[in-house]
């Protein structure tokens, strides 16, 4: 019997790992205000939030004892394409209600360890969480309040952008001086410059800037897009693969040219 067990193929393995989990930090529980501000943020970067697992953070509530309808809150987030998976902070009553909605309870310590583990593999500008501040104007002097992964203005990334990571430079250009892995996404309102191999997905001019361009040293992308006009890997000519190219719009058509 023992030899039979040893010869059986291993069916699974359980390991610890750090994942990218966007955090939605609530300051108030007015569902109308939440819906309005969520819609504005999702319209800015729809690809950033589509099917994204998110953690609800109640640690910043103006009223720590506020009544929260978790079915409505979870339904609201799902309505915008997000997948709520956990809760951080809140009162015991909040946590019991979240447990009833099958949300995992996440401690500040575990979230902090996830961020620290993530920071070992990526630059400060691409840490593994996105704080969506709902109900209050962001404080740009506080790195946590400024958001992580959702960058304001032109942004420089010096380390590899790994699979599953998403970076959005709102209101500016995005420059990456390292490799962009398959499954990673780069987004910018302006131009995007990649000085390493590009294997992921890139969206320039995502608010409709038709003059935006993508500059790439080694094109291996899964998808490239400018102002909503896109081309997938299968439709990129073989002669342009691994080439140094610029990608831009000309007469509403996406062009990829060596430079």
- Bridge partner list, 169: 151, 188
Judged by average pLDDT, the poorest of 17-21, 82-86, 172-176, 222-226 is: 17-21
Name the domain boundary from 130, 146, 162: 146
Do 215 and 134 share a domain, yes or no? Answer: no
Is residue 28 domain-shared with residue 137, that is, in the same domain? yes
Render 67-126 in DSSP notation, one character per residue.
Answer: ---HHHHHHHHHHTT-EEEEEES--HHHHHHHHHTTPEEE-HHHHHHHHHHHHTTS-GGG
Q: Give the mean model confidence (pLDDT) for residues 62-81.
A: 89
pLDDT of residue 199: 95
Q: Given this model, what pLDDT does residue 227 score?
A: 87
| 170 belongs to a structural domain | yes
Calculate the alpha carbon distances from 19 to 23, 33, 116 in Å.
12, 29, 11
Q: Is the pLDDT of residue 73 over 60?
A: yes
pLDDT at residue number 220: 96
- Is pLDDT larger for residue 101 or for residue 8? 101
Last residue of a domain, one of 146, 168, 197: 146
Q: What is the CATH number of the domain that holds 142?
A: 3.30.70.260
Which pLDDT value is given to residue 113? 43
Domain range for residue 127? 23-146
| pLDDT tens digits along 94-111 | 999 998 888 998 865 444
**Average model confidence (pLDDT) across the chain:** 79
Distances from the Cα of 142 to the Cαs of 138, 145, 146, in angstroms? 9, 5, 6
What are the helix and strand counts (H, E) for the chain?
Answer: 7, 17
Question: What's the pLDDT at 152?
Answer: 60
Question: How many C-beta atoms surround the C-beta of residue 96 within 10 A?
Answer: 12
Better pLDDT: 49 or 172: 172
Higher pLDDT, 200 or 124: 200
Determine the Cα–Cα distance for residues 49 and 45; give it in Å rounded to an integer: 7
Q: Is the domain of 113 the same as that of 182? A: no
In this prediction the pTM is 0.52
Q: Cα(196)–Cα(6) distance, rounded to whole angstroms?
A: 45
pLDDT of residue 3: 52
Q: What percent of the chain has pLDDT over 70?
A: 76
CATH for 254: 2.160.20.70
């Amino acid at each position: 019997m023992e030899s039979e067990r040893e010869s059986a193929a291993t069916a699974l393995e359980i390991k610890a790992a750090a994942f990218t989990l966007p955090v939605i930090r609530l300051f108030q529980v007015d569902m109308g205000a939440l819906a309005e501000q969520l819609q504005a943020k999702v319209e800015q970067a729809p690809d950033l939030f589509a099917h994204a697992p998110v953690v609800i953070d109640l640690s910043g509530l103006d009223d720590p004892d506020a009544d929260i309808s978790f079915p409505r809150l979870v339904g609201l987030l799902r309505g915008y394409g997000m997948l709520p998976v956990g809760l951080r902070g809140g009162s015991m009553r909040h946590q019991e209600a979240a447990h009833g909605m099958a949300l995992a309870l996440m401690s500040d310590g575990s979230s902090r360890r996830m961020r620290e583990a993530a920071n070992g593999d990526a630059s400060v500008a691409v840490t593994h969480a996105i704080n969506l501040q709902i109900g209050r104007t962001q404080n740009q002097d506080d790195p946590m309040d400024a958001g992580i992964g959702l960058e304001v203005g032109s942004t420089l990334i010096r380390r590899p952008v790994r699979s599953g990571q998403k970076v959005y430079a709102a209101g500016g250009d995005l420059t990456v001086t390292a490799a962009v892995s398959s499954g990673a996404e780069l987004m910018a309102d302006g131009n995007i410059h990649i000085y390493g191999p590009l294997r992921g997905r890139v969206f320039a001019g995502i608010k409709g800037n038709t003059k935006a361009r993508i500059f790439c040293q080694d094109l291996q992308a899964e998808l490239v897009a400018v102002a909503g006009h896109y081309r997938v890997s299968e439709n990129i000519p073989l002669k342009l693969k691994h080439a140094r190219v610029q990608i831009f719009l000309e007469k509403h058509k996406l062009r990829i040219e060596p430079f």
